[in-house]
Amino acid sequence: MDIDNATLHDLDIFGRNENETILHLLDFTRTIDGKETLKKKFSEPFGTMEEIIESQEVIKAFIKILPQFPETITNGTAMVLDKYYTAPVSTIPQGTGAVNSFIYKIFSRTDYTIIRYSMKHFIDFIKGMFELLRLLPDEQYAKPLQSVLNEIKKLLNKPTYQKIDQFSKGYKPSPSENLSLAAFFNHNKLNVQALQDLFYTIDAWYSLAKATVEHNFHFPEIVASETPLIIAGNLYHPLVENAVSYNFSLDEKNNFLFLTGANMAGKSTFIRAVGISVYMASLGMGVPANAMQMSCFDGLLSNIDISDNTMKGESYFFNEVQRIKTTVAKIQNGKKWLILIDELFKGTNIQDAMKCSTTVIEGLRKVKSSLFILSTHLYEIGENLKKYSNIQFRYFETEVKDDNLIFSYQLKEGISNDRLGYLILRREKVTDMLDKL
């Protein structure tokens, strides 16, 4: 699926504050390199039904073995193996019998200590890989997982690995065995590194499975459809505490959602929730919704956090126009896109904004191959858009009681004419402070 960096940041997939991102929410990896593999997967969501369903099947396979997942392979183990590759250890003697091993242990004491410590982690790693194979014994897993398991089996098909697998828990190799293992390790560096890389892929899958269970996400139904489709029940924003859920649908006949509501009413949260759910579904994992049906999307594009560029002399409005230009260029290819636009044309005066917004909406709504969600404060333009049958109108209601704002965050049908900016200014005592200047 085509997704750019701006969209990844708009949806908080990545961000400056990592603790407030989707990556952080879904990261249950056990190793640093596993997390890097997860990041790579996050940058490449799938765009075909086959890929998404295969990924779902992989994650479901890991959900079944979560309680038994090997504890022996940790980030510490991975780091020890990586450091041993570059450790300045003395050359291991050709013969690793009892005499040579004793001499090496006495006269290269520091080096032997490094070897003994590293081989303990090497044993843990290899035993953990065999344990994974026993936990996943079938021969007909989804193609991505089966390919990884087959490669692990191929790489572990060495007598030394078989011997390690037979070591009892807590087994302490003799000096001769440690040196023999170290010699094997040195001569099979590429083999060991390949096994590590395969584990990092497994670590990323484990993370997505763990996240799906821990957050009680549900797998969406991916439907074969020539036209784009989203039907969601109780969908919510996974980063919002005690989030309100939404029920909505978008399809070819009603492919444009015109969203209104006051400041802080929940428009941006809803738009991001939809984008995040489609993104997560395209990774093949569960989504924050009780139920969801979705077609595959060829691309996901957002227009949410636009900024000016002082160094280039580009205004906020100019960059808004450029983002819309990019959007129009993308959706001309006839492929299935989900387009998310929050508060279009904030960077110009209200008359310009109304004219520009109407022009853009009337143009975009003609594209049947894509779905659109667009929020705006400009409720006045809504009446003239009601003549288009494919535009659905939704709003977030705000109630005012004794100058207090009450937000229900419930998605309702219709157009909101709430404008509460001055009320918020007054409620926060800014008007009082200004009066006293």
Reported in sequence order, the residue ranges of 55-193 that DSSP labels E, i.e. its strands, are none
Q: Are 312 and 339 in contact (CB under 8 A)?
A: no
CA distances from 135 to 138, 146, 201, 210, 284 (A): 9, 13, 16, 16, 22
For residue 390, what pLDDT is reported?
Answer: 96
Q: Considering the chain, tell me which residue range(s) the CATH 1.10.1420 domain(s) occupy.
A: 31-214
Say if residue 315 is exposed, middle or buried (CB neighbours under 10 Å; 0-12, 13-18, 19+). middle
Nearest partner of 230 among 246, 253, 248, 203, judged by Cα: 248
Q: How far apart are CA 87 and CA 89, in angstroms?
A: 6
> Rounded to the nearest 10 degrees, what angle do helices 189-214 and 109-135 cross at?
50
Q: Phi/psi of residue 88, each to 5°? A: -80, 65
Q: Where in the chain is the domain with CATH 3.40.50.300?
A: 221-435
Task: State which fold the 31-214 domain adopts.
Answer: MutS, DNA mismatch repair protein; Chain A, domain 3 (1.10.1420)
pLDDT at 403: 66
Q: With a cut of 70, which residues of the chain have pLDDT below it?
A: 94-96, 107, 306-314, 402-403, 419-423
Task: Tell me how far apart the alpha carbons of residues 248 and 235 are, in angstroms, rounded to a whole number.
Answer: 9
**Assessment of whether the complete model's pTM goes beyond 0.85:** yes
Residue 435 amino acid letter: D
For residue 250, count other CB atoms closer than 10 A to its CB. Answer: 23
Q: Which CATH class is domain 221-435?
A: alpha beta
Q: How far apart are CA 146 and CA 149, in angstroms?
A: 5
Instruction: Quote the pLDDT of residue 306.
Output: 64
8 A C-beta contact, residue 192 and residue 161 = no
The pLDDT score that the predictor gives to residue 420 is 63
Q: How far apart are CA 373 and CA 12, in angstroms?
A: 18
Q: What is the pLDDT of residue 106?
A: 78
- Are 111 and 90 in contact, with CB atoms under 8 Å apart? yes
Q: Which residues contact 12 (CB under 8 A, 6 or more apart)?
A: 20, 21, 22, 239, 272, 276
The phi and psi torsions of 391 (rounded to 5 degrees) equal -95, 125
CA distance 49 to 40: 20
**Whole-number pLDDT of residue 429:** 76
The answer to whether 304 touches 268, Cβ cutoff 8 Å, is yes
User: Which tokens is 205 given?
Assistant: 């899958």
Over residues 78-133, the pLDDT tens digits come to 999 999 888 878 777 766 677 777 877 876 888 888 888 999 999 999 999 999 99
**pLDDT at 95 (0 to 100):** 64
